[in-house]
Amino acid sequence: MINKLRTLIISSMVLAALSSAAAAVAAEPRGPFGYPLDGEPWYSVRAAFTPAAASGGVVCRVARVEVNKARCRDFVLYQGGKELNANGIRMDRPFEIKVRCGWLAKTAYTVGIVLEDVKSGKTQALEWSAVSPAGKGYWNASWKNYVSLVLSEENGFERTGYPIHATIGILSSYLRTPNEIRVVRAEAKGGDIVYREIPSQVYDVVTWNDQKILGIEEKDAKTGKPVVRYHPTTSLSVAFLADLKPRAKATYLVFFNNPRAPRPAVKSDLVVKKGPKLSRTIDNRFYSIVLQETSGAITEIVEKTTGLKLEHKLETNGAIQWNPDVFSPPHTWYHSSDWTDPKADEVTGPVFYSLNMKGSLPFPRGVDIGLRYRFYAGSPVVMVESITEIKDDLFVMALRNGEFVFNKNVFTKVAFPRGGKTEVLDLAATKMHPDHVAVLRPDTPWVSLFDEAKGVGFAGLYLDLATPNLNGGQASLEQPFIYIENGPWYYVSRGLVYSFATNNQTRMLPVKAGSVYYERNAWIAFPYPKDGRLPAWLDAQYDMLKYPVAVKEDMETFAESPEGWVVPILTEPFEEGVKGAVGGIKK
């Protein structure tokens, strides 16, 4: 029999304090009713309990939690000023419970818990009651559910307009349309809470709803109760731009489950104009960028502060980005900019536009490449990702990536970090092609072309390079390096396996099948900082993009989710590799 023990924590003094604070809209947005702020993922109610004196030495677990008679499966226990790592409360001292609850302002709440003695199994019930303050409370009750994305800046760099891409899986019964999705950030301001709806973009929506699998009936061998293994699930990706101070945390809330939600009205400076084939013009307040019609490669950039056009347009189709590329004689040199029919997928929205291209090079055979651009609203940064996969052994004079090339109408100097300092070269006084202006380490963080008098610059930031071989070990590499070239143009590129334009250019170098080359870079066209802070500014941009913000998802436990662990069914042969372990069903 359950022993009722009603514990009213709020004394008349505390109630009076709450009443006086109501007019001030909660002078401090903390206390028993919590907000999802600065890394805290939940709206919560925090209740304090003092067990009866006779409970000394007894350890109990929380068997059930309710808020206003509705069960809640998400809670955290505290005792002795610390969060408990297990569901075990010593009953000889006070404890607290923090319960996930989307509380509303000026509303009475009762937290009820059922405790079970871990030894005897006896139970008792405790209750705590309070009235919520007159602050904002839950953002909008029309949206019944939310997922918290806790962002942590752990590297000491300030993030402004930092792109976040998160993929979230939701039980399909809770989401009717992507139009429901809203991203919101709550911030403390002047003793109150301010909500800010963040422009967001939903893409890659897919639903798993395999009725053949869902229709399988299964019962627990001991209890006879139905075993629920799967639910229809809708997964989606959401993108938004986040701001974080160094070493700070922020909570961004992804609200859903509002079937009547209208399509979100998002203001954006990102505009994409479509032309023939892959021709696109992408505009935001920082740039206007043109993509080439047949290859989709970037072919023109207008930096809007100066109005200057940055372009190449001297060779082949004149693209700014030529590679990935492969030169395997006697075949001609083939570049990604030479594509005429890549397979292309694009995603368009108010936060970003992406163009993803992939295909096989016509020669040499057995070389697959992919190239993806991402352009963001309110940001001068263009993200450039590429991948090359070598399927057959071959010999090359050039296998390159990470290139940008411009004619000589705008830029006069080049800068790059080397040996702990920034070197600046006057291009008019450098070596000419086929000699290199400079040969740099493959992990050089950035290279920038610029002109102080014209007040414009362009930088390539080399963020990530991965070179595995699918057959094991590393991809084929021959002393990879970044190099700068001065000819009819200025260009910067990365040689991965490269004898061409060296002092022994007749060498044919091997590239093994299975070699994969992945690169993630950022391109920035910018007004030249006249205060001499170009290196510091580029270092800051590099640090922000190179070192990712940690993103942790916190999702409520849905009522439909099974209690406890559901042992998986292994339908294929499986062996743990541990002596005595039970493997899967043998075919």
**What is the predicted pLDDT for the residue at 567?**
80
Return the C-alpha torsion angle 88, 94, 99, 101, nearest 10: 160
Based on the domain organization, do 352 and 215 belong to the same domain? no
Based on the domain organization, do 527 and 395 belong to the same domain? yes
Distance between CA atoms of residues 197 and 244, nearest Å: 16
Domain boundary among 223, 256, 289: 256
Mean pLDDT of 517-540: 94
Based on the domain organization, do 331 and 186 belong to the same domain? no
pLDDT in tens, 31-83: 899 999 999 999 999 999 998 876 678 999 999 999 999 999 999 999 999 99
Q: Does residue 34 lie within any of the structural domains?
A: yes
Based on the domain organization, do 372 and 513 belong to the same domain? yes
Compute how many other C-beta atoms are within 10 angstroms of the C-beta atom of residue 416. 24
Based on the domain organization, do 373 and 477 belong to the same domain? yes
Q: Is the pTM of this model over 0.85?
A: yes
* Greater model confidence, 576 or 252: 252
Q: Does residue 280 lie within any of the structural domains?
A: no
Phi-psi group of 495: left, alpha or beta (phi > 0 → left; psi -120 to 50 → alpha; rest → beta): beta
Could you tell me the residue range of the domain that residue 87 belongs to? 3-131
553 contacts 166 by C-beta, under 8 angstroms: yes
pLDDT bin (cut points 50, 70, 90) of residue 328 is very high
Q: Does residue 538 lie within any of the structural domains?
A: yes
Based on the domain organization, do 496 and 361 belong to the same domain? yes
**What is the predicted pLDDT for the residue at 15?**
32
pLDDT bin (cut points 50, 70, 90) of residue 571 is low
Based on the domain organization, do 126 and 172 belong to the same domain? no
Beta strands in 7-71 (DSSP E): 33-34, 44-49, 59-67, 70-71
**What is the predicted pLDDT for the residue at 11?**
32
Could you give the number of structural domains in the chain? Answer: 3
Based on the domain organization, do 89 and 60 belong to the same domain? yes
Share the mean pLDDT of the chain.
Answer: 91
pLDDT above 70: residue 463: yes
Based on the domain organization, do 509 and 534 belong to the same domain? yes
Q: Does residue 332 lie within any of the structural domains?
A: yes
Among candidates 579, 573, 553, 470, which has minimal Cα distance to 518? Answer: 470
pLDDT in tens, 75-121: 999 999 999 999 999 999 999 999 999 999 999 999 999 999 999 99
Residues composing the chain: 587
Percent above pLDDT 70 for the chain:
91
Which tokens go with 274? Answer: 């479509």
Which tokens go with 261? Answer: 């939600």
**What is the predicted pLDDT for the residue at 108?**
98
Based on the domain organization, do 476 and 351 belong to the same domain? yes
**What is the predicted pLDDT for the residue at 582?**
54
pLDDT in tens, 227-268: 999 999 999 999 999 999 999 999 999 999 999 999 999 999
pLDDT bin (cut points 50, 70, 90) of residue 341 is confident
Distance between CA atoms of residues 369 and 103, nearest Å: 51
Based on the domain organization, do 409 and 458 belong to the same domain? yes
363 contacts 145 by C-beta, under 8 angstroms: no
pLDDT bin (cut points 50, 70, 90) of residue 503 is very high
pLDDT in tens, 429-453: 999 999 999 999 999 999 999 999 9
**What is the predicted pLDDT for the residue at 220?**
86
In whole angstroms, how far apart are CA 270 and each of 278, 284, 308? 18, 5, 19
Among candidates 342, 338, 340, 311, which has minimal Cα distance to 325? Answer: 338
Q: Does residue 248 lie within any of the structural domains?
A: yes
